[in-house]
Amino acid sequence: MSTLRTLEALERERLVTPDARLEAAAQSMAIAITSDMVALIDRGDLAHDPIARQFVPSAEETVISADELADPIGDEARSPVKGIVHRYPDRLLLKPLHACPVYCRFCFRREKVGPGGEALSDAEIEAALDYIRSHSEIWEVILTGGDPLMLAPRRMAKLIAGIDAIGHVAVIRIHSRVPIVEPGRLTDEMVAAVRPKRAALWFAVHCNHPRELGAAARAALARLADAGIPLMGQTVLLKGINDDVETLDRLMRDLVTARVKPYYLHHPDLVRGTGHFRVSIRQGRALVKALRGRLSGLAQPTYVLDVPGGHGKVPIGPSYLGDDPDALTVEDAFGAAHRYPG
């Protein structure tokens, strides 16, 4: 079975039943569910299945609230050249294409991602590289998209070599969902393609639920780790998918045992039509606090919010210090308060 891309294909697989509002949801964002992910769906309880909920369109997507934004993290305002988002002085995003192996219904670039469309041409890639070349303060280049691993290995190798040739770029970071949702793309050729000769490579995988980490995904992550590539995890906190402490505990442990260091737990962005996925910051902080008391430091992600309007990410996790600077108290991970001198 190949990737499911239409409502009809989802109906044939009995993943949806026809509904006019679903048509509208499908029109607002492309559909793609890889066979790897379809195989992990529990059909016994489709409405609550954490895999199905992430990728199968739902009528709830047609509900758009006044707080939601077309460009929730303000990428547009920070794009000096096509494909680049430059928000922080020392690092920038380079988005070679907008295609993904799956389309996550909560995607923070929901209005941008999709098949075809805005892939950069060779000339546009060259213009993006020129921008990086002419900005010597760029220390890190972050490949994202879409999913950069949708590039053919040969194009990926060429892009990595182009960035690697820019002497002031010390770090290349790749953000991808491919090792999880379509691990077969992570061939030896692809692993070789992503490795720069000079710069340090870091690889961030997007994974939201322990059930996503099947045998094939673990094997793909092991290929990267065995190639000496440090792996980090990013997770979006999602209502009805991972907004409970047991699921997050399991996910973070499973990531660490797959040699992936949890990096960020993202508070969901104000994306249009994603209210059914959003938890409150209060709930998020309570979950993160509970994890602190349960998990190894290795397994703790930083809970972050991308401040709407293009202001960047900040940690929004709980604070353990009391407010009074003259009588400093600190709360431990199990809830007890202690005095700290000075």
For 141, the 3-state DSSP assignment is strand
Task: Report, in Å, the least distance between residue 214 CB and ligand SF4.
Answer: 17
Task: Report, in Å, the least distance between residue 339 CB and ligand SF4.
Answer: 45
Binds ligand PLP by CB under 6 A, chosen from 15, 22, 56, 85? 85
Each residue 138-177 as x (binds ligand SF4 by CB under 6 A) or -, in order, gives -------xxx-----------------------------x
C-alpha closest to that of 199 among 275, 281, 140, 265 = 140
Residue 88, interface with ligand PLP (CB under 6 A)? yes
Structure-block tokens of residue 32: 């793609």
Q: ∠236-275-62 over CA atoms, to 5°?
A: 120
C-alpha closest to that of 50 among 251, 270, 296, 292 = 251
Each residue 15-34 as x (binds ligand SF4 by CB under 6 A) or -, in order, gives --------------------
- CA–chain centroid gap for 147, Å, is 10
DSSP string, 264-318: EEEPPP-BTT-GGGPPPHHHHHHHHHHHHTTS-GGGPPEEEEE-TTT--EEE-PP
Binds ligand SF4 by CB under 6 A, chosen from 53, 95, 185, 206? 206
Could you tell me the CA-to-CA distances from 222 to 77, 179, 188, 259 in Å, in that order? 38, 10, 12, 8
Each residue 118-157 as x (binds ligand PLP by CB under 6 A) or -, in order, gives ------------------------x---------------
Q: Which residue is nearest to ligand PLP (CB)?
A: 87
Residue 51 or 85 with smaller CB distance to ligand PLP: 85
Pairwise CA distance, residues 196 & 99, whole Å: 23
Q: Which does 104 bind (CB under 5 to 8 A by kind): ligand SF4, ligand PLP, none?
A: ligand SF4
User: Which residues participate in catalysis according to the annotation?
Assistant: 87-88, 91, 100, 104, 107, 109, 269, 306, 313
Only segment of 15-23, 83-91, 96-104, 209-217 that touches ligand PLP (CB under 6 A): 83-91
Residue 55 or 263 with smaller CB distance to ligand PLP: 263
The dihedrals phi and psi of 110, each to the nearest 5 degrees, come to -50, -35
DSSP state of 120: P
Binding to ligand PLP (CB under 6 A) within 300-319 occurs at 313
The dihedrals phi and psi of 78, each to the nearest 5 degrees, come to -110, 20
Binding site for ligand PLP (CB under 6 A): 73, 85, 87-88, 91, 93, 142, 313
Binding site for ligand SF4 (CB under 6 A): 100, 102-104, 107, 109, 113, 145-147, 177, 206
